[in-house]
Amino acid sequence: MIHKWLTGKATNILIPIIAVFLGILVGAIIMLFIGQNPFTGYAALINGAFGDIYYFGEMLRMMTPLILAGLAVAFAFRTGLFNIGVEGQLIVGWLASVWVGVAVEAPMFIHLPLSIAAGAIAGALWGFIPGFLKARFYVHEVIVTIMMNYVALYTANHLIRTYLLVPGERTERISTTASLASPFLQSLTDFSRLHYGFFLAIFACVVLWFVLWKTTLGYELRAVGYNKHASHYAGMNVNTNIILAMVISGGFAGVAGAMEGLGTYGYMSILSGFTGTGFDGIAVALLGANTSIGVFLAAALFGALKIGAPNMQSAAGIPPELVDIVIALIIFFVASSYLIRLVINRLQKEGK
Amino acid sequence: MGFFDILALVIPATIFLAAPLIFTALGGLFSERSGVVNIGLEGLMVIGAFTGILTTLYLEGFGFGVWSPWLSLIAAVVIGALFSLLHAVASITLKADQIVSGVALNFLAVGLSVFLVRNIFGKGQTDYVAHRISRENIPVLQDIPIIGPLFFERVYYTSFIAIAAAFIVWYVVFYTPFGLRLRSVGEHPMAADTMGIKVNRMRYIGVMLSGAFAGMGGAVFALTTAGNFAGNTIVGQGFMALAALIFGKWHPLGAFGAAIFFGLAQSLSITGQSIPLLANVPQVYLLIAPYVLTILALAGFVGKAEAPKAIGKPYEKGSR
């Protein structure tokens, strides 16, 4: 299933582009269907994301957790694992980073890395459980990670309510020594909530690329993803690699949560439902074909869509949920690449 | 508070919270038994809830009165089955990854329904329906001492339909030719194909039945509990139904029992504060119980849950 997506370089680049195009096209048809002008709608969307430096800053801010969540999904994908639990890993990462950010007192050069590391470790731990169950008991990771999402949500809310609650249904604000907030970046972007985490996300892209393609560990992880049995025969420890892949994937997701806790908000609220970022990470990874650059670009697209959406409502009277529909359709089209491949192959054969 | 008072508090709540889970889990059973993973149950429930509420509002406008919610249940079943076609086409015909397709279905269901609601009502939620599915006393049976007040007073007919459905599905899946074919394409599609069973057609039927049942489940939840529809009407019930299906080991009666059990956990998390023994137990344990138990069941600590053999794999003729 997954390795099919990794063959044929040109087709690999073409498929996401065609999928995005088809998604936007169907979105336009839906706008026509409700009696709106698609050009006005999409103009409002683009204007909403890029029309003002403030919104551009917000878009970059939005991208940060999306990139990290996308990397988390992509990393697991490469080892043949489907991590739907990024959402839950993100939640525990968010809570752990905020907890350390509130409770510990230390100078910034210790406190900030410590808080981020706390998020990563919490996420990694949350990823370890499905990885271990997969390796030891052959339990499918998809179901376990879905269940772990709910456990994370309710447990985090319970811990906040019991130990960290301040008025406003949230935790205390983290101390400034643990904060990623950047007055400099904020002043550049007309006081958006853009923070230093954005650069950390770019750095994480590089880390993913390096680990996967330039280390023995990455080679083994990808080998296990391609063919478990051949890897085992070649003397690799498949089970250890499965657990490691989930731990690292969860670590990325935990850092995504830390970005929300230490950068965007500076605290954690009691969540009435999922943040959605973890699930968007699945879309980001799929569209980005599980590559660092792809994930970055896909996160940019989805970030722009999400930040621009409210302007569709105010400027063109189109419900912002259109963006959610377009994202869902893009996933459908990427997943159904069988059809796109078929058409491309047919066209190529006729060309010859 | 006496023992009977506790039962009177817990049992009716359990039955009525379990009904949507039972329907949806049974739907998931059809799909997964035919070999197609259905993570999209949540989205199918959303579409069912949306259709149920919207149709009821319109039918009320046309003067159908108390019959509106009942007719809407039928609409929800039909629309649910049609919407599940997206998952069927993507994962069976186009051989898409079934999990990805299910995830996309969930996204699309929430996006599309809230988009339409905002377009029709100009706000994020629908109006409230005037006629919900009403609570009824069952004649004669309600007069039985003890059992009567617990099970037959102020109950929803839909709860009994759900319970009946579990037994009907059990019979259909295990004692009819159709059920045998459905299970065979989920266990060993090539053998089934050799015997002349149309694998992909059976899988389409399985997925569409899951859409119909999940649509029913969503509509029942919306028309008994919620009363209106918004993006947060269905939050996790679909995944909990999936958990019930797995915890029930892909067996109709197992899924039914698991749904009742999860319904009990939910009802205790709501009513627990007024029950002396449970008042000191943090709510969180009851909230996470269904999910933790499902993980333990999968790992084999609570009896091994084994999925149909061919689940998740698209069928390609001639492949081995």
Whether the per-residue pLDDT at B28 is higher than 70: the answer is: yes
Q: Evaluate whether residue B204 is within a structural domain.
A: yes
- B86, B98, B106, B115, best to mutate vs chain A, most A CBs in 10 Å: B115
Whether the per-residue pLDDT at B43 is higher than 80: the answer is: yes
B79 pLDDT band, cuts 50/70/90, is: very high
The residues, ordered by sequence, that sit 6+ positions from A47 with a Cβ below 8 Å of its Cβ are A308, A311, A315
- A29, A92, A133, A147, best to mutate vs chain B, most B CBs in 10 Å: A147
- Residue of A282, A321, A336 with shortest CB distance to B114: A321
Indicate the angle between helix axes B3-33 and B157-175, nearest 10 degrees.
Answer: 40
- A92, A332, A340, A343, best to mutate vs chain B, most B CBs in 10 Å: A332
Residue A45's DSSP bridge partners are none
Whether the per-residue pLDDT at B152 is higher than 60: the answer is: yes
Q: Is the ipTM of this complex over 0.90?
A: no
Q: Would you call A332 and B298 a contact, using CB atoms and an 8 Å cutoff?
A: no
Q: What is the mean pLDDT of residues B208-212?
A: 97
Paired tokens of B37: 């993973």
Residue B303 pLDDT: 61
Q: Would you call A332 and B235 a contact, using CB atoms and an 8 Å cutoff?
A: no
Q: Determine the structural domain holding residue B138 and report its residue range.
A: 3-299
Residue B66 pLDDT: 85
Chain B residues within 8 A of A279 when measuring between CB atoms: 103, 106-107
Residue A1 pLDDT: 44
User: Which one is the CATH code of A3-351: 3.30.1300, 1.25.10, 1.10.3470, 2.60.40?
Assistant: 1.10.3470
Measured CA distances, B142 to B130, B135, B147, B155, B231 (Å)? 27, 13, 8, 10, 37
Give A229-241 pLDDT, tens digit per residue: 899 898 889 999 9
- Contact at 8 Å (CB) between B238 and B42? yes
- Residue of A155, A279, A325 with shortest CB distance to B108: A325
Residue A30 pLDDT: 93
The per-residue pLDDT of chain B, averaged, comes to: 88
Q: Where are the domains of chain A?
A: 3-351
Number of domains in chain B: 1
Domain harbouring B184, CATH code: 1.10.3470
Q: Evaluate whether residue B320 is within a structural domain.
A: no
Q: Would you call B108 and A328 a contact, using CB atoms and an 8 Å cutoff?
A: yes
Whether the per-residue pLDDT at A352 is higher than 60: the answer is: no
Whether the per-residue pLDDT at A8 is higher than 70: the answer is: no
Give A37-63 pLDDT, tens digit per residue: 999 999 999 998 888 899 999 999 999
A258 pLDDT band, cuts 50/70/90, is: very high
B115 to chain A: closest CA residue: A321
Residue B65 near chain A (CB below 8 Å): no
Rounded Cα gap, residues B183 and B167, in angstroms: 17
Name the minimum distance, in Å, from the CA of A234 to any CA of chain B: 24
Rounded Cα gap, residues B178 and A253, in angstroms: 44
Q: Would you call A331 and B96 a contact, using CB atoms and an 8 Å cutoff?
A: no
Paired tokens of A285: 């990874």
B65-82 b/e (C-beta count within 10 Å ≥ 16 → b): eeebbbebbebbbebbbe
A12 pLDDT band, cuts 50/70/90, is: confident
Q: What is the mean pLDDT of residues B100-123?
A: 92
- Contact at 8 Å (CB) between B54 and B121? no
Q: What share of chain B is helix, strand, coil (3-state, %, to 5)?
A: 70, 0, 25
Q: Evaluate whether residue B196 is within a structural domain.
A: yes
Residue B23 pLDDT: 96
Length of chain A: 352
- Residue of B37, B110, B287 with shortest CB distance to A154: B287
Residue A322 pLDDT: 93
Whether the per-residue pLDDT at B124 is higher than 90: the answer is: no
Name the minimum distance, in Å, from the CA of A117 to any CA of chain B: 26
Chain A residues within 8 A of B307 when measuring between CB atoms: 140
Rounded Cα gap, residues B107 and A68, in angstroms: 20
Residue B86 pLDDT: 94
Q: What is the mean pLDDT of residues A143-148?
A: 91
A156 to chain B: closest CA residue: B284
- Contact at 8 Å (CB) between B56 and B223? yes
The percentage of chain A sitting over the pLDDT mark of 90, rounded to a whole number, equals: 62
Chain A residues within 8 A of B99 when measuring between CB atoms: 82, 84, 142
B290 to chain A: closest CA residue: A147
Q: Would you call B107 and A273 a contact, using CB atoms and an 8 Å cutoff?
A: no
Q: Would you call B95 and A140 a contact, using CB atoms and an 8 Å cutoff?
A: no
Q: In A, residues 73-112, which contact B (CB 8 Å cutoff)? A: 82, 84
Name the minimum distance, in Å, from the CA of B114 to any CA of chain A: 7
Residue B144 pLDDT: 78
Chain B residues within 8 A of A338 when measuring between CB atoms: 94-96
B304 pLDDT band, cuts 50/70/90, is: low
Neighbouring CB atoms inside 10 A of B209's CB total: 25
Name the minimum distance, in Å, from the CA of B101 to any CA of chain A: 6
Residue B173 near chain A (CB below 8 Å): no
Give A162-218 pLDDT, tens digit per residue: 988 888 888 889 988 888 888 888 888 888 889 999 999 999 999 999 999 999 999
Residue B54 near chain A (CB below 8 Å): no
Name the minimum distance, in Å, from the CA of B15 to any CA of chain A: 22
Burial class of residue B138 in the structure, from the number of CB atoms within 10 Å of its CB (0-12 exposed, 13-18 middle, 19+ buried): middle
B233 to chain A: closest CA residue: A273
What's the one-letter identity of residue B73? L
Rounded Cα gap, residues A116 and A88, in angstroms: 17
Q: Evaluate whether residue B74 is within a structural domain.
A: yes
The answer for B2, left when phi > 0, alpha when psi is -120 to 50, beta otherwise, is beta
Paired tokens of B77: 């079943």
Chain A residues within 8 A of B243 when measuring between CB atoms: 143, 147
- Contact at 8 Å (CB) between B234 and B168? no
Whether the per-residue pLDDT at B110 is higher than 90: the answer is: yes
Residue A2 pLDDT: 45
Q: Evaluate whether residue B317 is within a structural domain.
A: no
Whether the per-residue pLDDT at B264 is higher than 90: the answer is: no
